[in-house]
Structure 1
Amino acid sequence: MAQRGTKFALITGCGQGGIGEALALEYAHRNISPIATVLPTESSQHLSEAGIVSFPLDVTKKESILALKESVIQLTGGRLDVLVNNAGICYTMTAIDTDVSEVQKMFDVNIFGPMRMVHHFHDVLIESGATIVNIGSIGGVIPYVYGSSYNASKAALHHWSSTLRVEMAPFDVKVLTIISGEVGTNFLKTDKERTLPENSYFSPLATEFTQHVQRVPVTTDRFVYAQNVVSESLKSAPRAWFWYGSASLFVRLLDALAPRTIWDRILWGWFKFDKLKRTHRLLRKG
């Protein structure tokens, strides 16, 4: 049982090298006791070595969430000051070549996971007057090429989170949506070997697609990101949407000031769609 006055932050998705781990370390630095979660198949050694309490969690399974809730209540005495819904996975593929079963798995983590967490923890959150932090992405704002399904999962999270903010306000529960830019993690590692299907209409860009999934983007250090996100989450009145991370300011400005189709022109150039169009026209003529 925790000492009286101790504050707790529960963070999902704290595998080694990711945002969740950095957030847990930052909450500890701020004298907020972090409770980290990792997949049942993942090691938690990196957390235990840092003195961080962790539990196994699969956000796609009700039983796993309920077991976590029981452990958290036992540890905290029924108090939870911050819930960070961070667990997420990616899926990179053209919209027309998408394997819907893969997208269903991603949505089960990226959007239904936070929904399950809030559903099962809502009584603890309300009794504590907690803050819920949902980790979104600039991908949920712009039509980033080859990320249609991931973008859709984050756009859904943003809108759900915004509605949740309105609904939870009468209970003095704050909801903060983080619009994350590019952050330096190993998040993209699972997609590094992904290739276009045979006979895809996008085959003329197969080399470029491979380069994209294996890219090393310009990023914000995850620990700097964590410092800013945690700082915002601990405010008495955090912003509804908090934009932070590489490219987030650029995206925010264009989203606010430019027509929606500005991204059509920008992304066309970035992803060499002139080459795709020329090849498609030649094949049709042939």
Structure 2
Amino acid sequence: MKPSPTTTTPSALITGCGKGGIGHALAAEFRRHGYAVFATLLAHEPTEHLKEIGVATFVADVTNNDHILKLREEISVVTKGTLDVLVNCAGIAYTIPATDTQIPEVEKMFAVNVFGPMRMVNIFHPLIITSKGKIVNIGSVGGIVPYVYGASYNASKAALHHWGDTLRVEMKPFGVSVVNIISGEVSTNILKRDQASGRKLPEGSVYMPLAKEFEGHVGRVPNTTPPEVYARSVVAEIMKKNPSAWFWTGASTSLVRFIDTFLPRTTWDRLFIRWFGLDALRK
């Protein structure tokens, strides 16, 4: 069943709602609170997990301008030209040492993680301004700390955080709130792209002494904050009249926030060198 918004039904549009991911969990939580929820998926992704909870699904790629323009037209008809919440959730990961970065791979990731939210806001902001709504960017502690093998992904999230900061200031005169969600590690399938490709260190990499450890890192199954627990905290914050500009939630965010606020920047160097066994490279 698809939700049928009325003038009193709040609406939420969430990008990147593949099964088992953060977007899926957020869609379910918004529905639990009575929102009319619109979710985007890629053409190859199933829709049953969303339709069965009353979420309206749309095939739309955030890197495709025509897709998003069509999406705005379709949603605008249903909501009568308003949108209460836009959640920029679509994202992909790219795991590799910074020195082994392949630029085409990073360009693909930035197209989703950074330019995707920019495109969504550019196209949907009139609907959000009309409702004096909220824009929510799903960020990461990776955008705060130098998480090893994640330099490019970290950079994409740092860019999203700081773009969102300026957007927040610029949208205030219109009564629109902008929230950066600083996410800890959540048990989702964001690593599936790296895992499906069998990501390995390239021939000649200076990190080859850690090749087995790197492959184990790519193949790991995060077992931290469950998506539904994460979604409850995020939606509760978004529903506040005045949500936080930066909302930290998920595993390890308290520790990250403390170290980033009170300790020297190079504290992370010592921690990550030890945790990832980088001292082996000195031999």
Paired AA for residue 256 in structure 2: V
The corresponding residue for 1:134 is 137
Q: Counterpart of 1:13 in 2: which secondary structure? A: coil
Q: Distance in 1 between matches of 2:89 and 2:248?
A: 15
Deviation at 1:34, TM superposition (A): 0.9
Is 1:74 matched with 2:85?
Answer: no
Deviation at 1:41, TM superposition (A): 2.4
Alignment TM-score, normalising by the size of structure 2: 0.97
C-alpha RMSD over aligned residues: 0.9
The corresponding residue for 2:248 is 243
Paired AA for residue 114 in structure 2: I
Render the CA deviation track for 1:34-56: whole Å, top value 9, x for unaligned. 11111122221211122211111
Query: Larger Cα Rg: Structure 1 or Structure 2?
Result: 1
Q: Distance in 2 between matches of 1:41 and 1:220?
A: 27
Is 1:30 matched with 2:33?
Answer: yes
Please list every run of 5 or more consecutive structure 1 residues that lacks an aligned counterpart in the other structure: 279-286
In the alignment of these two chains, the number of paired residues is 278
Q: Counterpart of 2:46 in 1: which secondary structure? A: coil
The corresponding residue for 1:143 is 146
Paired AA for residue 184 in structure 1: S
Q: Counterpart of 1:187 in 2: which secondary structure? A: coil
Whether the 8 Å contact between 1:218 and 1:246 is mirrored in structure 2 is no
Please point out which of 241, 249, 261 is paired with 2:266.
261
Render the CA deviation track for 1:80-99: whole Å, top value 9, x for unaligned. 10000000000000111111
Q: Distance in 2 between matches of 1:33 and 1:15?
A: 18
Q: Distance in 2 between matches of 1:243 and 1:36?
A: 24
Q: Distance in 1 between matches of 2:148 and 2:48?
A: 36
The corresponding residue for 1:123 is 126
Is 1:154 matched with 2:154?
Answer: no
Paired AA for residue 175 in structure 1: V
Is 1:212 matched with 2:213?
Answer: no
Q: Counterpart of 2:99 in 1: which secondary structure? A: coil
Is 1:163 matched with 2:161?
Answer: no
Deviation at 1:4, TM superposition (A): 2.1
Alignment TM-score, normalising by the size of structure 1: 0.96
Please point out which of 33, 43, 62 is paired with 1:59.
62
Is 1:8 matched with 2:8?
Answer: no
Is 1:271 matched with 2:269?
Answer: no
> Percent identity over the alignment?
56
Render the CA deviation track for 1:116-154: whole Å, top value 9, x for unaligned. 000011111111101000000000000001000000000
Q: Distance in 2 between matches of 1:68 and 1:225?
A: 27
Whether the 8 Å contact between 2:188 and 2:222 is mirrored in structure 1 is no
Paired AA for residue 63 in structure 1: D
Render the CA deviation track for 1:58-94: whole Å, top value 9, x for unaligned. 0001100001001101111112100000000000001
Deviation at 1:187, TM superposition (A): 1.2
Paired AA for residue 119 in structure 1: N
Deviation at 1:176, TM superposition (A): 0.5
Please point out which of 40, 46, 61 is paired with 2:43.
40
